[in-house]
Chains A and B, each alone.
Chain A
């Protein structure tokens, strides 16, 4: 306890609320409230309506939702595979090898996402691999961007993993593939699901690289939100944004359920 007097405490909490609520709670509430309104030019929104949700769950926006979900799931799975593989390989390397892999796989975080988009665009608009104009270029860029987070998450857990389990299994005659599938990966499951949730959320909200790359028939939700607000349909944009937040939260919640079940093992 830093502040002991009753008035002091209440004063501190008042300041906290004055800073916290307008800055963090209000923006999300405003987007939520606006998605149900037709007009907002006073203190409160007016003209309650569900029309924006009709627009946000049909036609282009529905297409954008499936696009985003497919992109995020594909990119997360690919990133999880590459990241886990690299993290497990790094954990078995010496100090120098691990630091090298750490630096290599963290590099996409340090490079601006727009530049990752530009680089992928430049590289895959020319032979030998032509991906420009297809959905794969978007999925590829998302994979590059989220692999770093899968790697860090799994790598941190792999280092803390007690090697005795794997050694005990091996000394009892388990083959390396069996040790990996039945001992090490199950022990890493909490970090794997955490990484999956993080990758999914990041990919769902990715805008920078996507703006550089998306073909007309593969527009994810963030691009759709930008297109709506850019042509002045702020309220439709808000409804699509709520759909984006809800989809992200639902998947994060589902993933966290897997995590709690795994920890009971």
Chain B
């Protein structure tokens, strides 16, 4: 078709400029990080930084903390997001649309706002402890979990649940409600309808949302930084403290490479799953 060539923006040559920009500002810096991770401060090229980092207790505990926090948050987000989306979609109430829009707005705010709010609610001199000491007359309140991994878990579940709800609401809106009516008229209770009709339909959206949240939890930094907990160190936090606080760049790069490997691996999985889900 002769006209096709004249609509412009055809051919691989047009793709070169943006790819070149990306290569300079992103791919080349990533390569330097990998290169630096093999270059100990003493000079030369060796695996010494890897050996040092893998042997250190701080790295091991950061790795376990990161993985269990991310896994726990993801499970929490999936359960909570499924229940909330179920109610919005299938037991609609006046204002359900507004709630769905509120969820969209929620997504445009940064994550650390949640931790900031939790500091007011559950902080040492916060609302919950204040009410407790006011009622019981005790000198100290019972809520001190904010600086522990549980505080991070609560904040991550709060912040990331909307990321599960959005694909679920999209999937639910395509579900034919006649299926639910038929199942119901045949005598199926709500629990059975959810299990046998809704859940199979929602599975792809759940998988896609869940793996996205898993990746984002693995990479979350703001929430952990704002809790100010010395005891909670995740991989991104370790990268920050090695590079900025200790100026140990080879070690920071090693942790960064491990973090990239985990999260890019999981992200490819997410892309594969969501492509199959048609999302």
Query: Which A residues are within 8 Å of any B CB, using their own CB?
Result: 1-4, 8-9, 12-13, 15-16, 19-20, 23-28, 30-31, 34, 40-43, 82-83, 85-86, 88-90, 92-93, 97, 101, 103-116, 118-124, 140, 143-144, 147, 163, 166-167, 169-171, 175-177, 179-180, 184, 197-198, 201-202, 204-208, 211-212, 222, 225-226, 229-230, 234, 237-238, 241, 244-245, 248-249, 252
Alpha-carbon separation in the docked complex, A123 to B33 (Å): 8
Q: 11 A-B pairs, CB-CB below 8 angstroms?
A: A1-B90, A2-B194, A31-B116, A41-B126, A41-B130, A93-B12, A93-B15, A113-B236, A119-B26, A122-B29, A176-B6
- Besides A27-B118, A40-B130, 6 more A-B contacts (Cβ < 8 Å) are A13-B93, A20-B99, A28-B106, A170-B6, A230-B228, A234-B123
Alpha-carbon separation in the docked complex, A123 to B177 (Å): 55
Residues of B within 8 Å of A12, CB to CB, are: 87, 91
Which of B32, B93, B226 is within 8 Å of A123, CB to CB? B32
Alpha-carbon separation in the docked complex, A23 to B256 (Å): 32
Q: Are A13 and B9 in contact (CB under 8 A)?
A: no
Residues of A within 8 Å of B65, CB to CB, are: none
Tally the A-B contacts, defined by beta carbons under 8 Å: 279
Residue on B with the closest CB to A228? B116
Residues of B within 8 Å of A19, CB to CB, are: 80, 83-84
Q: Are B4 and A167 in contact (CB under 8 A)?
A: yes
Q: Are B117 and A92 in contact (CB under 8 A)?
A: no
Q: Which has the most chain B C-beta neighbours within 10 Å: A34, A112, A222?
A: A112
Q: Are A179 and B7 in contact (CB under 8 A)?
A: yes
Say whether chain A's binding surface is mostly helix, strand, loop, or mixed.
helix
Residues of B within 8 Å of A8, CB to CB, are: 190
Residues of A within 8 Å of B256, CB to CB, are: 112, 114-115, 118-119
Say whether chain B's binding surface is mostly helix, strand, loop, or mixed.
helix
Are A207 and B236 also in contact (CB < 8 A) when A2-B91, A19-B83, A234-B119 are?
Answer: no
Are A176 and B9 also in contact (CB < 8 A) when A89-B18, A122-B253 are?
Answer: yes
Q: Are A16 and B84 in contact (CB under 8 A)?
A: yes
Q: Are B109 and A245 in contact (CB under 8 A)?
A: yes
Within the complex, what minimum Cβ distance (angstroms) separates B201 from chain A?
A: 13
Residues of B within 8 Å of A229, CB to CB, are: 116, 119, 226, 228
9 residue pairs, one from A and one from B, having the closest CB atoms:
A176-B8, A205-B110, A27-B117, A110-B267, A123-B29, A119-B29, A112-B219, A86-B18, A208-B221
Q: Are A27 and B158 in contact (CB under 8 A)?
A: yes
Q: Are B158 and A23 in contact (CB under 8 A)?
A: yes
Residues of B195-233 whose CB lies within 8 A of A: 215, 218-219, 221-222, 225-226, 228
Residue on B with the closest CB to A213? B244
